[in-house]
Structure 1
Amino acid sequence: MNARPHCQNRQSERAQAQSERILCAAQKCFIEHGFHAAGMALIAETAEMSPGLIYRYFDNKNAIILAIVERQLENARTGIRALHHAPDFAAAAFDAFDCWRRADPRLMNVALFLEMSAEASRNPELAAALATSDAEVRKEFASWLGAAIEDGGRGLPPELARMRALSLQCFMEGLAIRALREPDTAPEILRTAIGEFVDNLFTAAFPAEGKYRRDPSS
């Protein structure tokens, strides 16, 4: 009686594995050749499967690109939620720089991030997907910053958490680009720069004339 569900689970797992294989191959092609030069034939060759099999999972190349955006969003969510259990954000940011520098596959590939940003100026569907992804990442950062300290957050007021979330998002994206352009940055300089930013990011603030400003006593 359980044979059919078991078979369906195996088919689902195989389909997921095949999709992941295609996405990994496509990402490699996009990084090495760019979106326009990397066609479905090249992606199929890199994935070591027939183009016809790829079309069983994705209607076209644009669908693959959008799936990569969604996958990167899920990875970002996982990373941000892990901050609730990270005692030292500055150390986590430094580790992220090192991962970006080494093109660690667990993190967003910086070259692909820049390629997607450029392509979004010509592709409205991709632009919309990236805008949605950016908003979701910012929401995750704000959720962490606004969570109670005893829950692993920073205990910031909602309005301030939203503002600092944007600052944090800009900082992390800038850090990723630095990892691509200046991978040999001296560790001690980088640690100091990250530390100064983090000190300001998490500094206590209080309302003044309807806006938040730093607490001069901190």
Structure 2
Amino acid sequence: MSAEDRRSKAEARCEAQRQRILRAARRCFVDSGFHAASMASIAETADMSAGLIYRYFESKNAIMLAIIQQHLDEVQADIQRLRAGKEAVASHIMERFVGWQRNQSASLEPGLFLEIVALATRDPQVADALMAADRRIHAELGDWLRRAWQAADRPLAQAEVAERVFVLRCFIEGLIVRAIKQPDAGSELLRASLERLLAHVLPVARANP
């Protein structure tokens, strides 16, 4: 095995350990809250020693910052799928909402989303990271919407793009809360609401499945 192969294997092993820790931390933060969850409980959930966790993350804050980056990566991947036309917008949002209702979403769990937002009101470092991620998501969504309307020969002014991004994000983030407060909300109600919203946000042909 070459030195490069050994290095690649070591990097892959390191990344696998990081992801294992992040999965355990997400579970602990949802179950116990950020402040009540300890590095020891994260280590126990990850089935590794606390000392090993400190090789990858210096503190709980560092873990939370990595989770925020992980969320940004997930959202960017979602936007790329929508940009490539591989997934209809309404179907994608409905799938996410059902996952949030069942706590089975591949994306950020509702409880963890609320925990991060609450922590950002008290921790400037987390607030800065969250706002930076938010700006990136906002910009990429804006670019996607602008291109979608241009492709439909109905170009929008920048202010119109910004307004649509704001409305869409308020709706989706509201669904995260709604998944907790109204876990029995049916698909027909969501679909009807989405059709009304997306008729404004996107050219209709791009909005519907």
TM-score (norm 1): 0.86
| Inter-partner Cα distance in structure 1 for 2:92 and 2:175 | 12
What's 2:193 paired with?
193
Task: Quote how far apart the aligned CAs of 1:149 are.
Answer: 5.6
Task: Quote how far apart the aligned CAs of 1:161 are.
Answer: 1.5
Task: Give CA-to-partner distance per residue, 1:7-44, whole Å, 9 cap, x none.
Answer: 00000000000000000000100000001110101111
Residue identity matched to 1:77: Q
| Inter-partner Cα distance in structure 1 for 2:113 and 2:169 | 14
| Aligned residues with identical type, % of pairs | 38
Task: Quote how far apart the aligned CAs of 1:171 are.
Answer: 1.1
Superposed CA RMSD in Å reads 2.2
1:62 matched to 2:61: yes
What's 1:81 paired with?
80
Q: Which runs of 4+ in 1 moved over 4 A?
A: 148-155
Task: Quote how far apart the aligned CAs of 1:185 are.
Answer: 0.9
Task: Give CA-to-partner distance per residue, 1:145-201, whole Å, 9 cap, x none.
Answer: 011568699853433212211111111101121112211112222211111111122
Unaligned segments of structure 1, at least 5 residues? 205-218
* Compared CA separation, residues 87 and 114, structure 1 to 2 (3 A): closer
Structure with more relative contact order (C-alpha pairs < 8 Å, separation 6 or more): 2
Contact 1:144 1:153 in 2 (8 A): no
| Inter-partner Cα distance in structure 1 for 2:32 and 2:148 | 45
Contact 2:148 2:203 in 1 (8 A): no
Residue identity matched to 1:146: R
| Inter-partner Cα distance in structure 2 for 1:134 and 1:144 | 15
Per the alignment, in what secondary structure is the counterpart of residue 185 of structure 1? coil
Unaligned segments of structure 2, at least 5 residues? 205-209
**For this pair of structures, how many residues does the alignment match?**
203
* Compared CA separation, residues 105 and 90, structure 1 to 2 (3 A): closer
* Structure number, greater radius of gyration: 1
